[in-house]
């Protein structure tokens, strides 16, 4: 296992064999997700040719204008996952209510939440987009799960992952036993293990934040970014680099490979809604992956995976990435307040 060149299916079957009592249902579910991601990779890649670029004439539950591909990729996920008998229910960024499994299909023991197309504002400008998912156990004896059944902390996740459709298509997975990265070999239609046991470098001099929101940030964030920007002339004593893709999958992938800090903090513009990113299908799965790769993830006040969810589409502030950046920041009182939630994770 974990050998470069192993196919993702072999990898997950071998992981399953390490748990002798496993029924194979999680393996089946992961394999369904792999199929959806392959299909979405194909659609994203050909969207310009087959007329799938641009906006749809609708808004999603968050009041955001939907792209045609937001809707189509949501349907791809639902159609691949609803009939195989591994799920009891689903929740998607694009659908307000819980998605039930149709009566004609068997119900399974897992729940899934997903963002079918993350960073979808980037489709028409040909920048990386992705799919994010999080798998939870369905409470015992529940056949038709309600919102209540999904309200599990991130620490309860069984598996999380994301697929990034970039220069190459990559699927990043964790089941709580480290993080592994697979690259889609389009010639044979398989994801191949190319990045075993991914770990986030503990030190970094790179931050990612949407600077256009600067005037809305709270004071500790203002101060932290100001110190990064001052570089060797400021108290941090080193020059920082900045990146912002407006695509969380691309930012987290970059952090997994070369470290960094990613922030979508609370600001006065979005304070009422609690943040920008969604807890159940963006922040939690990404936090599980980041922590499993040796990084940290916080709202600024609390470890994200310990936030008690109150709604499927709930939003939270997100600060995640390289461990030692947080330790460096502790030397600066206002910023240590900001990152207090990272301690002891």
State the residues that interact with ligand AHG by CB under 6 A: 64, 93, 115, 118-121, 210, 246-248, 264, 276
**8 Å CB contact between 330 and 224:** no
Q: How far is the CB of 262 from ligand AHG (least distance, A)?
A: 8
Shorter beta-carbon distance to ligand AHG: residue 210 or 328: 210
By a kind-dependent CB cut-off of 5 to 8 A, residue 246 interacts, out of Mn ion, ligand AHG, none, with ligand AHG
Q: Tokens representing 191?
A: 């994801």
Helix locations, the chain, DSSP H: 8-17, 25-46, 68-81, 147-150, 219-230, 248-258, 284-292, 323-329, 333-338
Query: Measured between alpha carbons, how far is 319 from 298 in angstroms, rounded to an integer?
Result: 5
What is the smallest separation between the CB atom of 133 and Mn ion, expressed in angstroms? 12
Provide the 8-state DSSP code for 217.
B
Query: Which residue's structure tokens are 């995976």?
Result: 305
The site map against Mn ion for 72-101 (x = CB under 5 A) is ---------------------x--------
- Taking the least distance from each CB to Mn ion, the nearer of 16 and 113 is 113
Shortest spacing between CB 43 and ligand AHG, in angstroms: 16
Looking at the Cβ atoms of 242 and 331, the one nearer to ligand AHG is 242
Residue 311 CA to residue 135 CA, distance in Å, equals: 16
By CB under 5 A, is residue 115 in contact with Mn ion?
A: yes
SS3 313: coil
Interface region with Mn ion, contact rule CB under 5 A, candidates 100-108, 110-118, 235-243, 286-294: 110-118
Q: Which is nearer to Mn ion, 118 or 325 (CB)?
A: 118
- In the set 6, 68, 98, 118, which binds Mn ion (CB under 5 A)? 118
User: What whole-number distance in Å separates Cα of residue 18 and Cα of residue 146?
Assistant: 32
**Nearest position to ligand AHG, beta carbon:** 248
CB contact set of 220 (below 8 Å; sequence gap of 6+): 300, 334, 335, 337, 338
32 versus 115: smaller Cβ distance to Mn ion: 115
Where along the sequence are the contacts to Mn ion (CB under 5 A)?
A: 93, 115, 117-118
């Amino acid at each position: 296992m974990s050998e470069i060149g192993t196919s993702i299916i072999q990898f997950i079957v071998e992981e399953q064999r390490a748990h002798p009592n496993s029924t194979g249902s999680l393996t089946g579910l992961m394999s369904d997700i792999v199929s959806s991601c392959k299909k979405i990779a194909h659609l994203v890649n050909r969207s310009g040719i087959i007329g799938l670029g641009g906006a749809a004439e609708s808004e999603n539950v968050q009041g955001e204008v939907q792209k045609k591909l937001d809707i189509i990729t949501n349907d791809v996920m639902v159609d691949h996952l609803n009939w195989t008998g591994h799920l009891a229910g689903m929740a998607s960024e694009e659908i307000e209510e819980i998605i039930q499994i149709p009566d004609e299909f068997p119900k399974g023991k897992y729940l899934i939440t997903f963002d079918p197309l993350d960073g979808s504002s980037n489709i028409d400008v040909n920048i990386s987009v992705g799919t994010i998912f999080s798998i939870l156990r369905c409470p015992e004896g529940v056949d038709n799960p309600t919102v209540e059944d999904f309200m599990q902390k991130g620490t309860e996740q069984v598996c999380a992952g994301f697929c990034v459709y970039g220069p190459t298509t990559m699927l990043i997975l964790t089941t709580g036993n480290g993080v592994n990265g697979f690259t889609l070999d389009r010639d044979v239609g398989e994801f191949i293990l190319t990045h075993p046991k991914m770990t986030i470098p503990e030190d970094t001099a790179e931050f990612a934040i949407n600077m256009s929101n600067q005037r809305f940030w709270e004071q500790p964030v203002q101060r932290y970014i100001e110190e990064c920007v001052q570089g060797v002339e400021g108290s941090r004593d080193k020059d920082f680099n900045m990146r912002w893709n407006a695509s969380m999958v691309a930012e987290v992938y970059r952090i997994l490979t070369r470290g960094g800090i990613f922030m979508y903090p609370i600001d006065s513009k979005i304070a009422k809604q609690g943040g920008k990113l969604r807890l159940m299908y963006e922040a939690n799965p990404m936090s599980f992956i980041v922590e499993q790769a040796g990084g940290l993830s916080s709202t600024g006040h609390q470890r994200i995976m310990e936030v008690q969810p109150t709604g499927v589409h709930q939003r939270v502030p997100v600060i995640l990435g390289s461990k030692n950046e947080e330790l460096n920041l502790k030397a600066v009182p206002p910023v240590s307040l900001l990152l207090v939630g990272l301690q002891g994770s």
